[in-house]
Structure 1
Amino acid sequence: MSRYGYSIFCDDVRNEVGGKLSFVGCYNSVMFIPRETSFFLPKFCIHTHVVSPATEPFRSVYIRCYAPGSTEPIVEELIDTPALSDQKKLVSELEAGQEAPKIIVAAASIILSPFEIRGPGLISMRAVVDNVQAEVSLGSLRVVVAD
């Protein structure tokens, strides 16, 4: 199993009672925008998960957001990961035959307010794990001009 991830693209992420999250106005696979030079959303949120096998603990995870019209990330953030000692404890429990998770997950939300969309293309999320140059794909949302 190699590292992978996924993202939820939506209008808002809300913290609920009991540590739950609510995602409001989720996009499926396409966002339709009007035919303008650029388009502004008052708020745009992306909730991302990076998943790693428990035998390959995270040391660091940077998430990057790319938007249409920009070759460089519009956001790059270091996200919190479980402490390396906690991750290693999971691995030792696996080796001892105890019931333990086989994966480790790091998650974060990005809130862009306002968010400028310069045209059609992809809003893409990527992760750089442990400073390895190859980015892990965390999903994309296609932006299409509505006719």
Structure 2
Amino acid sequence: MIEWPVREMIAGGTRWFNQCIKAIYMLTRFAFSIFSDDVRHEVGNKSSIMGIYGPNIIFSKFPAILDKLCITTTVHCDVGSPVLSLKIEVGFQYSTLQEFVAPRDFLDRTHNLFAISRAQTGKGTQCYYNIQSFIAPFNIVGPGQLTVKAVLDDLEYEAGQINILLETKG
């Protein structure tokens, strides 16, 4: 049996190692979101994002309704460390509005496309997963913050936020 101080040093080393791995993932993995009025899918596997919002959506009064809010979330990782699980959570004022769990075959197919491209060209070390979600209609009772969180392999990443504000007179 391992004595107490040695056992604690081993456990501490394991925690330190796990924190280092998490820090490396945080540097090579990230997510961001674009908030817009619409996303149009076009020929050639392209998407056009229409009516991109800045950091705020301002209303003259509440309650308010936005006919449709589109959220395009891009998750980035290194081709050498593919994402094994991906969940996108959209929240408003501490309540979850939407949750999307990417099917494993989607993750595998996307990663394989980037790996094939890298093998054939010798270039490219990044892999991108694009997730598009829609809230229609978006019923807003008052000001607040809409947030997007990406959970990649059980690690949480802030993927974006937009403020919902009341117009100030004056």
TM-score relative to the length of structure 2:
0.72
From the two aligned structures, give the one with the greater helix fraction: 2
Corresponding residue of 1:107: 130
CA distance in 2, matches of 1:59, 1:84: 11
- Percent identity reads 26
User: Which 4+ stretches in 1 moved above 6 angstroms?
Assistant: none
Cα RMSD after superposing both structures: 2.5
Conserved in 2, the CA contact under 8 Å of 1:52 and 1:58? yes
CA distance in 2, matches of 1:18, 1:87: 15
CA distance in 2, matches of 1:140, 1:22: 21
CA distance in 2, matches of 1:30, 1:119: 14
CA distance in 2, matches of 1:84, 1:110: 18
Corresponding residue of 1:146: 167
Using a 3 Å threshold, how does the CA distance of structure 1 residues 85 and 123 change in structure 2: closer, same or farther?
closer
CA distance in 1, matches of 2:88, 2:142: 23
Structure 2: gaps (5+ residues): 1-26
| Match of residue 43, structure 2, among 5, 17, 23 | 17
Matched, 1:127 2:150: yes
Matched, 1:81 2:107: yes
CA distance in 2, matches of 1:118, 1:105: 35
